[in-house]
């Protein structure tokens, strides 16, 4: 049957006898399987080189199709459940789903749905059966992805207060390369929003003609108008997710241009901009992502309380400013002011050491007064930026709608020395972590260590690829990619005693067994003329310190098309709720070096069995 079906689809193409590589590729696409051009080209060349020709006949085409599509590992599985090795009846498919895919609920309806969706041969489909062709299409589909199907949509309770969620957050969103001389670009905002990012950073400075601009202050990065940034955000805010977007303003503008900012925010964003509390004016807890759907929130310093701002709502506050006193530690590290000028590099190291007093400097605290336009201040509702002093100070003084930003160096010290207080803090207040100012190349830190203590906004440079962004993208695949993930109960409970270094009674050990079967159409090595690679796979767990683990497979020599491992790896994970699993495929170039071919990261609890 499958032979007849196959011929009926392809024979028309071979009316004139033979076809070339382009036609081969087009014809393969009509068979509705995903083909990698480099691999097709390689198999095609191998076929024609024998005859010194550039075209293939119908039998060659069938051989190429089978070489790529009829994977032996699928065949073994199919034969195990098909008594005649040609057809699976619906009952046999049900048995396969229950035994291999752990779909205990699988029944006739499930089997029928799969057959109707994936069986390409009409007669087989009508008999409610599945051929090997249908089986391959099912096994290669999203339905058999390792990522749990029901985690592809929003499935978590979205009615908790905002501080109960991990929130996808970007740092210096306007930069698309480095932090010193690279371009600022609107694409930074578009691409972050399309990836489901829900907290964007906007660095605002006074521009000419009373037009505020966005760029990395004191550096040579290019400038973009604040107005354009808000227009792009207005356009793309809710394409990937319905849940609220927070604009984290790093505000260096004069009160006069702050008023211009407020005007743009209101006129461009219109109803999307949150300008008043929802429900009670007196705020005792933060609203939920559900309650704030399709809303854009401004995160900035604010004069006074929400309640005072609400009383002023209908008054014209044009030209009015308020003052905020900010405590500044003078001899703090490079991250007190993340935007410390990075440019004056002409001071020689020698002169620097002369200036340094021999006694360690005592921390002098000085008050810095900041002027804020009331018009902008009043747009800050549930996300008021508050200078972080200490966990004790926050516990005694901070309101639920006040949030802190802590630089990675300080945050890392807190994780190490006061993790319990840190967890207690993040169970109450939204906490944003940002990369230290010296990361001039826009490199990233590992976000996992800050998720482990419940930090909601762990801001990364989205423009910089690497393991850190792979963990970020993997974590936020969860919950439909909506940019909000409900934190585990032990990071939401204000009485929690959880710490990542000592999980104690919060441990829910899970044993994980992963069978690495095979690869298919891997990217060939850059160094290979013959489309070969020597692939190996690393399987890594990221989570609390005691769950961190790495294992690697053996190397399969010169096979990028269909490497086969059949190796099993076992892990025990103490805190699965925080764990991510990363599969990384590399090409062994030499005994000391590997080349990255590809990776996939996902939350451990989003792994599908089977």
Which DSSP state fits 584?
Answer: E
Q: From CA 605, how far away is CA 608, in angstroms rounded?
A: 8
- Long-range CB pairs of 209-214 (<8 Å, 24+ gap) are 210/256, 210/257, 210/260, 211/257, 211/260, 212/253, 212/257, 212/258, 212/260, 212/261, 214/174, 214/184
Task: Specify the range with the lowest mean pLDDT, choosing from 74-88, 525-539, 585-599.
Answer: 525-539
For residue 278, the model assigns a pLDDT of: 92
Predicted local distance difference test score (pLDDT) of residue 3: 86
Q: Which pLDDT value is given to residue 335? A: 44
Domain 1-69 CATH (choose: 2.60.40, 1.10.10, 3.10.450, 1.10.238): 1.10.238
Continuous segment of H or E residues that includes residue 571: strand 564-573
**pLDDT band at residue 221, thresholds of 50, 70 and 90?**
confident
Give bridge partners of residue 603 from the DSSP assignment. 580
Residue 544: alpha-carbon gap to chain centroid: 19
Range of weakest confidence among 189-198, 306-315, 485-494: 306-315
> Closest by alpha carbon to 170, among 289, 275, 299, 258?
299
Cα angle 260-262-266, degrees, rounded to a multiple of 5: 115
Classify residue 312 by burial, with Cβ atoms within 10 Å: 0-12, 13-18, 19+. Answer: middle
Q: What percent of the chain has pLDDT over 90?
A: 77
Cβ-based burial of 295 (10 A; exposed 0-12, middle 13-18, buried ≥19): buried
For the chain, give the number of residues.
Answer: 610
Three-class secondary structure assignment of 496-547: CCCECCECHHHCCCEEEEEEEEECCCCCCCCCCCCCCCCEEEEEEEECCHHH
| 344-356 pLDDT per residue, tens | 333 333 333 334 4
Out of 3.20.10.10, 2.60.40.150, 1.10.150.120, 2.60.120.1270, the CATH code matching 506-606 is: 2.60.40.150
529 pLDDT tier (thresholds 50, 70, 90): confident
**Average confidence (pLDDT) over 445-450:** 98
Please answer whether residues 299 and 380 qualify as being in contact, where contact means their C-beta atoms are separated by less than 8 angstroms. yes
Other CB atoms within a 10 A radius of the CB of residue 123 amount to 12
Dist CA 30 CA 358 (whole Å): 76
**Mean pLDDT along residues 184-212:** 95
Rounded to 5, what percent of the chain is helix, strand, coil? 35, 20, 45
**How much is the pLDDT for 364?**
57
List CB contacts of 172: < 8 A, sequence separation 6 or more: 179, 201, 203, 216, 442, 461
Residue by residue, what is the 3-state secondary structure of 273-309?
A: ECCCCCCCCCCCCCCCCCCCCCCEEEEECCCCCHHHH
The string of pLDDT tens digits covering residues 480-509 is 999 999 999 999 999 999 999 999 999 999
Q: Where are the domains of the chain?
A: 1-69, 72-144, 162-310+320-326+366-491, 506-606
Cα 469–chain centre separation: 6
- In whole angstroms, what is the distance from residue 259 CA to residue 264 CA? 9
Q: What is the pLDDT of residues 161-179, one digit of tens each?
A: 999 999 999 999 888 878 8
Other CB atoms within a 10 A radius of the CB of residue 20 amount to 13
Per residue in 365-418, pLDDT (tens digit) is 667 888 999 999 999 999 999 999 999 999 999 999 999 999 999 999 999 999
pLDDT average, residue stretch 574-601: 94
Asked if pLDDT for residue 133 goes beyond 80, the answer is yes
pLDDT tens, position by position, 68-112: 999 999 999 999 999 999 999 999 999 999 999 999 999 999 999
What element of type H or E holds 458? strand 457-458
Residue 358 has pLDDT above 60, yes or no: no
- Same topology between domain 1-69 and domain 506-606: no
Q: Is 171 a catalytic residue?
A: yes
Residue 567 or residue 48, greater confidence: 567
Alpha-carbon distance of 460 to 173, in angstroms, equals 9
Average pLDDT, the chain: 91
- What CATH topology corresponds to 162-310+320-326+366-491? TIM Barrel (3.20.20)
The fold of the 72-144 domain, in CATH, is: Recoverin; domain 1 (1.10.238)
Say which range, 315-329, 464-478, 507-521, has the weakest mean pLDDT.
315-329
Residue 605 banded pLDDT, cuts 50, 70, 90: very high
Contact, 426 vs 395, CB < 8 A?
no
Q: Give the model's confidence band at 203: pLDDT under 50 very low, under 70 low, under 90 confident, else very high.
A: very high
pLDDT digits (tens, 9 = 90+) for 6-43: 999 999 999 888 999 999 999 999 998 889 998 999 89
Which pLDDT score is estimated for 328? 52
How far apart are alpha carbons 201 and 215 in whole angstroms? Answer: 11
Please, are residues 447 and 468 in contact by the beta-carbon 8 Å criterion?
Answer: yes
pLDDT value at 131 more than 90: yes
**Angstrom distance (rounded) from CA 196 to CA 237:** 9
State mean pLDDT over 547-575. Answer: 97
Helix (H, G, I), strand (E, B) or coil at 368: strand
HSE (side-chain half, CA atoms, 13 Å) at 105: 2
Catalytic residue of the set 39, 216, 425, 520:
216
Beta strands in 185-320 (DSSP E): 199-205, 213-214, 224-225, 245-251, 296-299
- Residue 247's contacts (CB-CB under 8 Å, 6 or more residues apart) are 200, 202, 233, 296, 297, 298, 299
Rounded CA separation 472/454 (Å)? 15
| 199: nearest Cα among 253, 226, 223, 163 | 163
Rounded Cα distance between 473 and 177, Å, is 18
Measuring CA to CA, which residue among 176, 274, 276, 189 is closest to residue 227?
Answer: 189
DSSP state of 272: G
* pLDDT for the residue 332: 35
Q: Please, are residues 420 and 497 in contact by the beta-carbon 8 Å criterion?
A: yes
Res 360 pLDDT > 70: no
- Type and span of the H or E element at 492: helix 489-492
What pLDDT, on a 0 to 100 scale, did the predictor assign at position 34? 87
CA 321 to chain centre: 39
Q: How confident is the model at residue 530 (pLDDT cuts 50, 70, 90)?
A: confident
Q: CA–CA separation, 89 vs 129, rounded Å?
A: 5
pLDDT at 242 over 90: yes
The larger pLDDT score, comparing residue 592 to residue 242, is at 242
Whether the Cβ atoms of residue 218 and residue 482 lie closer than 8 Å to each other: no
Q: Which of 151, 171, 425, 520 is catalytic?
A: 171
Q: Is 339 exposed, middle or buried (0-12, 13-18, 19+ CB in 10 A)?
A: middle
């Amino acid at each position: 049957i499958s032979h007849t079906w196959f011929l009926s689809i392809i024979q028309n193409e071979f009316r004139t006898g033979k076809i070339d590589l382009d036609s081969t590729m087009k014809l393969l696409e009509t068979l509705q399987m995903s083909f990698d051009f480099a691999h097709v080209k390689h198999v095609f060349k191998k076929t024609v080189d024998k005859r010194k020709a550039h075209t293939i006949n119908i039998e060659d085409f069938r051989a190429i199709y089978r070489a790529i599509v009829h994977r032996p590992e699928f065949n073994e599985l199919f034969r195990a459940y098909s008594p005649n090795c040609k057809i699976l009846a619906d009952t046999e498919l049900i048995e396969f789903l229950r035994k291999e895919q752990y779909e205990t609920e699988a029944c006739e309806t499930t089997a029928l749905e799969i057959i109707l969706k994936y069986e390409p041969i009409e007669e087989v489909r009508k008999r409610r059966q599945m051929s090997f062709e249908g089986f391959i299409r099912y096994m290669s589909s999203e339905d058999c992805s390792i990522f749990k199907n029901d985690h592809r949509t929003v499935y978590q309770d979205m009615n908790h207060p905002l501080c109960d969620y991990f929130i996808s957050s970007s740092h210096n969103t306007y930069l698309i390369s480095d932090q010193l001389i690279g371009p600022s670009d609107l694409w930074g905002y578009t691409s972050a929003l399309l990836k489901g990012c829900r907290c964007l950073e906007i660095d605002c400075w006074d521009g000419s003609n009373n037009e505020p601009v966005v760029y990395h202050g004191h550096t040579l990065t290019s400038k973009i108008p604040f107005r354009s940034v808000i227009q792009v955000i207005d356009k793309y805010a809710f394409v990937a997710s319905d849940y609220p977007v927070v604009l984290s303003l790093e505000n260096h503008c004069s009160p006069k241009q702050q008023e211009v900012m407020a005007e743009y925010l209101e006129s461009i964003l219109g109803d999307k901009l949150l300008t008043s509390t929802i429900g009670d004016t007196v705020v005792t807890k933060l609203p939920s992502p559900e309650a704030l759907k399709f809303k854009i929130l401004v995160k900035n310093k604010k004069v006074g309380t929400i309640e005072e701002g609400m009383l002023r709502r209908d008054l014209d506050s044009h030209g009015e400013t308020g003052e905020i006193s900010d405590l500044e530690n003078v001899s703090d590290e490079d991250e007190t002011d993340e935007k410390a000028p990075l440019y004056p590099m002409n001071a020689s190291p020698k002169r620097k050491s002369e200036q340094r007093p021999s006694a360690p400097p005592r921390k002098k605290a000085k008050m810095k007064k900041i002027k804020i336009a009331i018009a902008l201040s009043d747009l800050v509702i549930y996300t008021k930026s508050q200078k972080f002093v200490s966990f004790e100070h926050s516990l005694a003084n901070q309101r639920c709608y006040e949030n802190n930003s802590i630089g990675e160096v300080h945050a890392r010290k807190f994780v190490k020395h006061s993790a319990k207080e840190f967890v207690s803090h993040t169970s109450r207040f939204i906490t944003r972590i940002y990369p230290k100012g010296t990361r001039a190349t826009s490199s990233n830190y590992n976000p996992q260590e800050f998720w482990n203590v419940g930090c909601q906004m762990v801001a990364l440079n989205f423009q910089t690829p690497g393991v850190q962004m792979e963990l970020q993208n993997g974590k936020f695949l969860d919950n439909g990619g909506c940019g909000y993930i409900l934190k585990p109960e032990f990071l939401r409970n204000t009485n929690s005693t959880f710490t990542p270094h000592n999980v104690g009674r919060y441990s829910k050990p899970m044993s994980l067994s992963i069978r690495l079967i095979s690869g298919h159409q891997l990217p060939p090595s850059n160094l290979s003329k013959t489309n070969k690679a020597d692939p190996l796979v690393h399987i890594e767990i990221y989570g609390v310190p005691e769950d961190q683990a790495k294992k690697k497979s053996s190397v399969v020599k010169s096979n990028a098309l269909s490497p086969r491992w059949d190796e099993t790896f076992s892990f025990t994970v103490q805190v699965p709720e925080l764990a991510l699993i990363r599969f990384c495929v590399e090409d062994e170039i030499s005994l000391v070096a590997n080349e990255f071919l590809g990776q996939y990261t996902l939350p451990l609890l989003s792994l599908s069995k089977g």
